[in-house]
């Protein structure tokens, strides 16, 4: 994996693009990992208010976005759910060199809409007193991969396999649990967390040592090369307004 660009190099690039920014507002087409839906919607609103630029947001799985980008989709910025996909796009020349950085580190949570069902140690997984467990496709969704790593390290992957309900992405996985088509689901903490607490139901925040860190990277794609507003967006993500929103949804920075 190619190392991230140094902060000074990124700052110089962004500053140069920013100085060339047009005075009129622009639209920016942004592909956003499903787990980052809620914070990105708030960031988009604040960004438009502060800069006049409008973000045209598409939410989905990072794996599918990669395929779409390689097939010519008109996205100008990618907010991925991992760091491997942006690094791959960078290596393949499909992005603007030096713009990639980690905008958030995600957390995995075992969640149920039913209050009191999930204990704070996740022991319900060992008891098996549930019919279905929603998990995102580990081949497409980093949170799905993290869920499988967790179950493997707990020695439960094989015994619980028959209870899995697989979502295409973490958004669909959350819907399985939110509609109680699955009693439990491994979802992104950001989907069930706001202002320092779980918003409803019951949950076990999975200890970080049970899965590989979910480093989520953003970068400007090749189609955003000559779009100063795209560089302005990535600058904005480093500012106080955006970082406060990101932290409020349980991410680390």
DSSP type of residue 91: H
Residues 70, 139, single domain; the answer is no
pLDDT of 239 reads 96
Q: Which domain holds residue 189?
A: 108-205
Residues 133, 193, single domain; the answer is yes
Question: Residue 253 falls within a domain, yes or no?
Answer: no
Residues 21, 100, single domain; the answer is yes
Residues 85, 121, single domain; the answer is no
Residues 27, 83, single domain; the answer is yes
Residues 95, 181, single domain; the answer is no
pLDDT of 25 reads 85
Of 71, 72, 47, 69, give the one whose Cα is nearest residue 231. Answer: 47
Q: Is the CB of residue 87 less than 8 Å from the CB of residue 219? A: no
pLDDT of 9 reads 47
Residues 11, 101, single domain; the answer is yes
Total structural domains in the chain? 2
Q: SS3 for 119? A: coil
Output the pTM of the full model. Answer: 0.81
pLDDT of 56 reads 98
Q: Please state, in angstroms and rounded to a whole number, the distance separating the CA atoms of residues 91 and 110.
A: 34
pLDDT tens by residue, 70-128: 999 999 999 999 999 999 999 999 999 999 999 999 999 999 999 999 999 999 999 99
pLDDT tens by residue, 148-169: 999 999 999 999 999 999 998 8
pLDDT of 87 reads 97
Q: What is the CATH number of the domain that holds 174?
A: 3.40.190.10
> How far, CA to CA in Å, does 181 sit from each of 36, 134, 176, 236?
23, 9, 5, 38
Q: Please state, in angstroms and rounded to a whole number, the distance separating the CA atoms of residues 129 and 230.
A: 48
pLDDT of 22 reads 46
Residues 151, 125, single domain; the answer is yes
pLDDT of 23 reads 53
Residues 20, 94, single domain; the answer is yes
Compute the average pLDDT of residues 48-62. Answer: 95
Question: Residue 234 falls within a domain, yes or no?
Answer: yes
């Amino acid at each position: 994996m190619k190392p991230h660009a140094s902060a000074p190099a990124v700052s110089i690039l962004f500053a140069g693009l920013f100085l060339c920014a047009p005075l009129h507002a622009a639209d920016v087409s942004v592909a956003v990992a499903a787990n980052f839906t809620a914070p990105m919607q708030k960031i988009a609103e604040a960004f438009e208010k502060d800069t006049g630029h409008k973000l045209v947001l598409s939410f989905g799985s990072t794996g599918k976005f990669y395929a779409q980008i390689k097939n010519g989709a008109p996205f100008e910025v990618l907010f991925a759910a991992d760091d491997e996909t942006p690094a791959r796009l960078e290596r393949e020349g499909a992005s603007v060199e030096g713009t990639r950085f980690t905008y958030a580190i995600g957390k995995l949570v075992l969640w149920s809409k039913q209050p009191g069902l999930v204990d704070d140690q996740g022991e319900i997984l060992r008891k098996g007193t549930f019919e279905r467990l929603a998990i995102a496709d580990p081949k497409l969704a980093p949170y799905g991969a993290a869920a499988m790593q967790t179950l493997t390290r707990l020695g439960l992957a094989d015994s619980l396999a028959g209870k899995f309900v697989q979502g295409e992405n973490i958004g669909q996985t959350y819907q399985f649990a939110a509609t109680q088509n699955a009693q439990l689901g491994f979802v992104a903490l950001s989907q069930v967390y706001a202002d320092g607490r779980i918003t409803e139901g019951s949950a076990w925040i999975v200890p970080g040592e049970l899965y590989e860190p979910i480093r989520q990277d953003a970068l400007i794609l090749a189609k955003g090369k000559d779009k100063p507003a795209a560089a302005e967006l990535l600058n904005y993500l480093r500012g106080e307004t955006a970082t406060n929103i990101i932290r409020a949804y349980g991410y680390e920075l």
